[in-house]
Amino acid sequence: MIGCYVTGILPRPDELIEKTRAYDRGRITEKELEENFSKYTDIVIEAQASLNLSFVTDGMLRWQDLLRPFVENLVGASVGSLARWFNNNTFYRKPVITEPLERSGEIVKKVTYVEKLPKNRQWKIILPAPYTFATLSENRYYKDENELMFSYAKILNEEIKSLAESGFSYIQLSDPALTYDPFKSGIDKDTLSFIEDSLKLAVRGLKVKTCLQTFFGDFSKILPEALDFPVTHLGIDIYETNIEEVKTYDFGKGVCLGLVDARSSLLEKVEELVGVAEKIIDSIYPSKINDVFIAPNCDLEFLPWKRAFEKMKLTREITGKLEEKFLE
């Protein structure tokens, strides 16, 4: 199929931001705050449905950052200091690991409006991948990063199975640490092998589709090893990647092309991005096309809500043009 979806946390509409600030200042109650989160979750879900996105999320409006629900709900982890979210002007709370990690119950559902997701749409959930979780954590217990990565991967597998039972049919594992490389040192082959093994553990026994989504870095740096990762689709940040290098490989699995720039308020031209996508698709699928999804290259939370919606609309328009060419 050729489809589209969002790849991360959506921005809170201005009115919701005002309500959260009012709550912080003691001007509204927790009940009133929750009513507003519920109200605006309906709005962002309807926005995705109105654009006919292939998979719908609840917008993740209650997520403080990608890691926070796990940090706050895993035994053995605690919320640490603020740290910069890669090379963006946003921050996350660093997970501090002091004991063996354990899952004492459902994690993501505590901050996800599952009951609001439309029954006539396919649902998607976005979770931190094992390598990114381990890399961004402050490890005070496990002997090394790999041991922490495998411990978290086991928990992730349990969480995904629970989410699949609740109706989620598409799992995105966000892995920005995998490609973010400010010093251009790259990830060695042994580490990539450990990452592959941790992903095998995370997706073991699953019947839902999975995507390893990368941001903020050059996807070509993890090729060809990434082609063997045990996921259904691979996500590529087009703006950070050496696309000419990617086009030299024959992909045996689906891709998510991060064609729409979520870190820029400028609206791209549809025909230009359609042309970029066509060249990539023709190159990586020389014989038979696999699944292709068009998406923002990272979380849209870096933009105001109204512009984020326009970027989502742009994503849908690009997808429609590609459907006309490849599925006619």
Q: What is the pLDDT of residue 242?
A: 96
Q: Convert 262-275 to b/e letters by CB count within 10 Å (16 or more is b).
A: bbeeeeeeeeebbe
Strand pairing report for 91-103 and 74-84: antiparallel
**Is residue 235 predicted with pLDDT exceeding 90?**
yes
Closest by CA to 320, choosing from 52, 13, 45, is 52
* CA-based R_g, the chain, Å: 19
Proportion of the chain above pLDDT 70, given as a percent: 100
CB 74 within 8 A of CB 25: no
**Is residue 43 predicted with pLDDT exceeding 90?**
yes
For residues 216-242, average pLDDT: 97
Q: Domains in the chain, start-ordered, CATH in brackets? A: 2-13+52-326 (3.20.20.210)
Q: What angle do helix axes 14-24 and 30-50 make, rounded to 10 degrees?
A: 160
> Is 328 strand, coil or helix?
coil
- Per-residue tokens: 48: 């995705």
**Is residue 328 predicted with pLDDT exceeding 90?**
no
Long-range contacts of 95-99 (CB under 8 A, 24+ apart): 95/67, 95/70, 95/71, 95/133, 95/136, 95/137, 95/138, 96/137, 96/138, 96/140, 97/137, 97/138, 97/139, 97/140, 97/141, 97/142, 97/148, 98/140, 98/141, 99/75, 99/141
Please, how many CA atoms are within 13 Å of residue 229, restricted to the half-sphere of its CB? 35
Q: What is the pLDDT of residue 185?
A: 80
More confident of the two residues 287 and 200: 200
What is the overall mean pLDDT for the chain?
96
- β strands within 49-167, DSSP E: 55-56, 74-84, 91-103, 122-128, 138-139
For residues 268-278, average pLDDT: 97
Q: How far is Cα 319 from Cα 44, in angstroms, rounded to an integer?
A: 20
| pLDDT band with cut points at 50, 70 and 90 for residue 183 | confident
* DSSP code of residue 300: G
Closest by CA to 51, choosing from 299, 241, 308, is 308
Q: How far is Cα 100 from Cα 83, in angstroms, rounded to an integer?
A: 23
Q: What is the pLDDT of residue 58?
A: 98
For residues 202-224, average pLDDT: 97
Q: What is the pLDDT of residue 107?
A: 96
Closest by CA to 260, choosing from 284, 239, 233, is 239
Cis link prior to 118 (omega < 30° from 0)? no
Q: Whole-prediction pTM value?
A: 0.96
